[in-house]
């Protein structure tokens, strides 16, 4: 039960998600994970196709039901937690069909249904991302599947078409937004964030040169006046606007490698520096919560490519980009985990005498 409570507390993490495209047509999706801790045992996790798992319940609670057991159709890799024997947990990831997605905190808006509606199947919130990646081959299939589930929080999924869908379970039902601007943060819901962009339609990427006031001409004395007025704090609305403008004006990489590198820079603009956002609601702590600090910060950033099936990441402590290749892993029949590598890693290029 403590492990399940720990997983539920991870749902309180603030996050930013973004879909992007390279000049040569590669489709990328990624996210920042912003929180004041990471569940013990969280690693880059590969889960093979053919894995048996349950949609709700756990072995610890002794409440598993055979009719809620499934077998994965696709292999997947992402940041996850394999300490619950009955079901893997992924915070975000990519499967062998190029479907990518993850969960984002939906504070004060996510609505839990108390009863399973007729014609739907219950699905425990921490299991949603893995279940979608295990069973679906596209955003369209995610949409069709989630309409038959009982869900909470909110999610973003993308694939090789470039579409990013946002799924939000509100008090008046499940809302699925297709063909979005390709950005999502946290509360409020996606329609509010989309409308809020109208407050920033005057932003432009060009520096202002000279300004006339009566008979005075004021010459610009500093660079960087393009995007003047862009919000710079770490609230969900401000991060949404920043990422939307970065996506619109940011230079796309000519290929996957440059696209991933450029996208990491976009995420850095929305990342929480440690010490700037002090936690007011610590949430439920368990014996498995280690290295809990009083600040939310960007623990890691991940970027995936729908075409290559590679999963890239950096951590707060280690900005060197690491990756695993799902194409090389997918023939394996047993789960594999890789350390996040959260120790500083510097490359010395000074010649050694």
Q: pLDDT band at 5, cuts 50/70/90?
A: low
Select from 63, 103, 62 the least CA-distant residue to 81.
Answer: 103
Report CA Rg, the chain: 21
> What sign has the CA pseudo-torsion 324, 326, 332, 335?
positive
Supply the pLDDT for residue 210: 84
| Number of neighbouring beta carbons within 10 Å of residue 44 | 22
The dihedrals phi and psi of 264, each to the nearest 5 degrees, come to -60, -35
Please give the average per-residue pLDDT across 340-350, as a whole number.
95
Q: What would the two tokens of residue 280 be?
A: 């007011």
Pairing between β-strand 277-278 and β-strand 183-184 as defined by DSSP bridges: unpaired
Q: What would the two tokens of residue 178 be?
A: 């297709």
Active-site choice (15, 221, 305, 348)? 15
Q: pLDDT band at 200, cuts 50/70/90?
A: very high
| Number of neighbouring beta carbons within 10 Å of residue 330 | 17
3-state secondary structure of 175: strand
Supply the pLDDT for residue 123: 83
Tell me: pLDDT of 242 over 50.
yes
Q: Decide if 348 is catalytic.
A: no
Percent above pLDDT 70 for the chain = 88
Q: What is the DSSP letter of 202?
A: T
**Cα dihedral angle (114, 120, 122, 125), rounded to 10 degrees?**
-90
Tell me: pLDDT of 308 over 80.
yes
Q: pLDDT band at 224, cuts 50/70/90?
A: confident
Tell me: pLDDT of 116 over 80.
no
> What sign has the CA pseudo-torsion 220, 224, 229, 232?
negative
Please give the Cα distance from 113 to 189 (Å, whole number): 18
3-state secondary structure of 182: coil
CA atoms within 13 A on the CB side of 294: 4
Count helices and strands in the chain by DSSP H and E runs: 7, 21
Q: pLDDT band at 1, cuts 50/70/90?
A: very low
Supply the pLDDT for residue 346: 94
Exposure class string for 102-114: b at 16+ Cβ within 10 A, else e:
bbbbbeebbbebe
Supply the pLDDT for residue 60: 72
In this predicted model, what pLDDT tens digit does every residue of 6-59 receive, in sequence order?
555 555 567 999 999 999 999 999 999 999 988 889 999 999 999 999 998 887
- The separation between CA 87 and the C-alpha centre of its own chain, rounded to angstroms, equals 20
Residue with tokens 């006046």: 225
Global confidence as pTM? 0.92
In this predicted model, what pLDDT tens digit does every residue of 155-188 receive, in sequence order?
899 999 999 999 988 778 788 999 899 999 988 9
User: In sequence order, what are the residues at sequence separation of 6 or more whose Cβ sits closer than 8 angstroms to the Cβ of residue 308?
Assistant: 26, 256, 325, 327
Select from 248, 249, 252, 272 the least CA-distant residue to 263.
Answer: 252
**Strand residues in 263-345 grouped as ranges (E):** 277-278, 295-305, 310-315, 322-325, 336-338
Q: Kind and range of the H or E element at 245?
A: helix 236-249
For 5-51, the DSSP string reads HHHHHHTT-EEEEEEEE-TTS-EEEEEEEEES---TT-EEEEE-TT-
3-state secondary structure of 108: coil
Please give the Cα distance from 322 to 225 (Å, whole number): 34
Q: How far is CA 219 from CA 42, 138, 185, 224, 337, in A?
A: 53, 52, 38, 14, 57
3-state secondary structure of 80: strand
């Amino acid at each position: 039960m403590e492990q399940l409570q720990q997983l539920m507390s991870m749902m309180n993490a603030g996050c930013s998600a973004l879909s992007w495209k390279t000049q040569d047509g590669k489709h990328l999706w990624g996210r920042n994970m912003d929180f004041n801790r990471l569940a013990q045992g969280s690693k880059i996790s590969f889960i093979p196709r053919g894995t048996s798992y349950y949609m709700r319940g756990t072995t610890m609670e002794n409440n598993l039901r055979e009719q809620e057991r499934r077998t994965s159709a696709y292999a997947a890799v992402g940041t996850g937690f394999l300490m619950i024997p009955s079901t893997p947990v992924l915070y975000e990831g990519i499967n062998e069909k190029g479907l990518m997605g993850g969960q984002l905190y939906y504070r004060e808006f996510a609505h839990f249904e108390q009863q399973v509606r007729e014609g739907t199947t219950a699905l425990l919130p921490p299991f949603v991302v893995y279940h979608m990646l295990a069973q679906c081959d596209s955003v369209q299939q995610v949409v069709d599947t989630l309409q038959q589930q009982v869900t909470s929080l909110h999610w973003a999924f993308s694939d090789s078409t470039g579409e990013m869908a946002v799924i939000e379970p509100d008090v008046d039902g499940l809302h699925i937004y297709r063909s979005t601007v390709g950005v999502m943060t946290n509360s409020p819901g996606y329609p509010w964030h989309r409308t809020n962009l109208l407050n920033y339609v005057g932003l432009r990427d060009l520096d202002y040169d000279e300004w006339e006031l009566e008979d005075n001409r004021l010459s610009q004395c500093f660079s960087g006046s393009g995007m003047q007025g862009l919000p710079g704090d770490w609230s969900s609305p401000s991060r949404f606007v920043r990422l939307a403008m970065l996506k619109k004006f940011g230079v796309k990489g000519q290929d996957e490698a440059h696209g991933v590198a450029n996208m990491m820079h976009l995420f850095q603009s929305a990342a929480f520096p440690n010490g700037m956002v002090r936690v007011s609601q610590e949430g439920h702590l368990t014996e498995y919560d280690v290295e809990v600090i009083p600040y939310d910060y960007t623990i890691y950033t991940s970027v995936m490519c729908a075409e290559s099936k590679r999963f890239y990441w950096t951590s707060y402590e280690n900005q060197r980009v690491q990756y695993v290749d799902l194409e090389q892993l997918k023939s394996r029949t047993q789960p594999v985990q890789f350390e996040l590598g959260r120790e500083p890693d510097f490359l010395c290029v000074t010649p050694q005498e």
